[in-house]
Amino acid sequence: LAPGFDTTRAKALADAAIDALRAPIDAGDARVFIEGSIGIAPFSALRDDRIEVMRKADVALYQAKAAGRACASVYDGALDAALRRRGTLAADLRAALETGDGIAVHYQPIYDAATHRIVAVEALARWHHPTFGDIPPSEFIPVAEASPLITMLGAHVLETACRAAAAWPIEVVAVNVSPVQLRDRDFAHTVAEILARTGLAPHRLEIEITESAWLDPRGTEPETLVELHALGVHIALDDFGTGFSSLGRLSNAVFDRIKIDQSFVRHIIERSDDVAIVRAVVDLATAKGLKTTAEGVETAEAATLLALVGCDWLQGYWFSRPLPYAGMAQLLHEHVQSELIDA
Ligand code: C2E
Ligand code: CA
Ligand code: CA
């Protein structure tokens, strides 16, 4: 407790304490280094409740640890609210997964760039919360990834998508897989069981992983990816261009496909730089025997240009937004009808 300190002085005091802790300690033959993180909660002795002050200090401590440890942070009400929302969402997501209420899988069709035939769909998780309404995956996936919930959610999406795709006239169903799922040593086994149960041939499943899932901290491919590849499941590198992988590193990797990130695709008509980047990615991918999909195709002009550049498959709002199961089934039905008429 530092009576009369404002947050600036409290921060200076905490920094000094952290510095003092850094001094090495000789313990027999060993030198021991310790470090400390500090959370600071300003309070009024007259107004504030003791337990609440400790809780706020804990929130600030969490923030200090999240900022890389060995530092001090002052309590931040906005962060507190965000943490509370995450806590609520995690509990509600668990309940939703247990009952199945509010969780759905939507499908976005993927088109052959040359023929504009539907060749694949990407499965995308959706959550309708009973009080907050629709929660975007960019918010609930990280919540799920911070707990075992991602395993439940991931298995649910996989099974639902494989079952739907087994009956649909498409080549491939693409399913996003989190790095947390890949770290599970049983994951390839889980996938094999799902394929057997749903009757989907392994080569019709394409799992999408991001660069952060691809290489572990030692720079090697996770064993699970190699096992999945051996099962015959296809593997796509998602959001390519947003991380640090070079195309050179892809040559001996397990990938079958590269998905070119939306950020290079969205403005391709206005930006000649983006055309050059996409062309380079497509040329190198082709040389390595990999297929390409461009994501985020929002205009007819972009679709035409991307086909010219040589992308194999196209996906984006210009073709279709992600659709619920029934909408996707209907679209495929109409699509097959129109192909029959063309033929
Ligand atoms: P993603 O894998 O890159 O998925 C593509 C996202 O781009 C989807 O957003 C899709 O709705 C959106 N999109 C498609 N075409 C266009 C377009 O033309 N313009 C624009 N502006 N956006 C387009 P969504 O459904 O919100 O998903 C966001 C992310 O959440 C996904 O990015 C994926 O990383 C993650 N995600 C979704 N479902 C799952 C899941 O079942 N498991 C895991 N691990 N992650 C998932
Ligand atoms: Ca994806
Ligand atoms: Ca993507």
For the chain, percent of residues with pLDDT exceeding 90: 85
**Global model pTM greater than 0.75:** yes
* Residue-level pLDDT at 312: 98
Kindly report, residue by residue over 122-177, the tens digit of the pLDDT.
999 999 999 999 999 999 999 999 999 999 999 999 999 999 999 999 999 999 99
Residue 88 has pLDDT above 90, yes or no: yes
Task: Report residue 190 as tokens.
Answer: 């889980």
Q: Which among 171, 241, 233, 189 is positioned nearest to 207, based on CA atoms?
A: 233
* Residue-level pLDDT at 241: 85
Q: Say how many Å lie between the CA of residue 167 and the centre of ligand 2.
A: 22
Measured in whole angstroms, the distance separating CA 114 from the mean position of its chain's CA atoms is 29
Which atom number of ligand 1 is nearest to the Cα of residue 137?
Answer: 30
* Residue-level pLDDT at 52: 93
Strands 234-240, 38-40: pairing is unpaired
Residue 85 has pLDDT above 80, yes or no: yes
Kindly report, residue by residue over 215-236, the tens digit of the pLDDT.
776 777 889 999 999 999 999 9
Which atom number of ligand 1 is nearest to the Cα of residue 181?
Answer: 44
| Top mutation candidate among 126, 141, 210, 212 for ligand 1, by most atoms within 8 Å of CB | 141
Tell me which residues have their CB closer than 6 angstroms to ligand 1: 108, 124-125, 136-138, 141, 154, 157, 176-178, 208, 238-239, 262, 295-298, 315-317, 322
Mean pLDDT rounded to a whole number for the chain: 93
Task: Report residue 20 as tokens.
Answer: 């003092």
Q: Say how many Å lie between the CA of residue 341 and the centre of ligand 1.
A: 33
Residue 342 has pLDDT above 90, yes or no: no
Kindly report, residue by residue over 91-122, the tens digit of the pLDDT.
999 999 999 999 999 999 999 999 999 999 99
pLDDT band for 209, please (50, 70, 90 cuts).
very high
Give the number of the ligand closest to the Cα of residue 316: 1
pLDDT band for 17, please (50, 70, 90 cuts).
very high
**CB of 310 closer than 8 Å to CB of 283:** yes
Q: Say how many Å lie between the CA of residue 334 and the centre of ligand 3.
A: 27
* Residue-level pLDDT at 144: 96
Q: Say how many Å lie between the CA of residue 108 and the centre of ligand 1.
A: 9
pLDDT (average), residues 296-301: 97
Give the number of the ligand closest to the Cα of residue 207: 2
| Top mutation candidate among 97, 107, 122, 124 for ligand 1, by most atoms within 8 Å of CB | 124
* Residue-level pLDDT at 334: 95
Q: How far, CA to CA in Å, does 124 sit from each of 92, 156, 202, 289, 293?
A: 19, 11, 19, 27, 16
Residue located nearest, by CA, to atom 25 of ligand 1: 124
Residue 343 has pLDDT above 90, yes or no: no
* Residue-level pLDDT at 306: 98
* Residue-level pLDDT at 339: 83
Q: Say how many Å lie between the CA of residue 10 and the centre of ligand 1.
A: 43
Residue 337 has pLDDT above 90, yes or no: no
The neighbouring-strand residues paired with 120 are 110, 172
Residue 251 has pLDDT above 70, yes or no: no
pLDDT (average), residues 54-68: 94
Q: 39-43, long-range: CB within 8 Å, 24+ apart, which pairs?
A: 39/63, 39/64, 39/72, 39/73, 39/75, 40/7, 40/10, 40/11, 40/14, 40/72, 40/73, 40/74, 40/75, 41/74, 41/75, 42/6, 42/7, 42/10, 42/74, 42/75
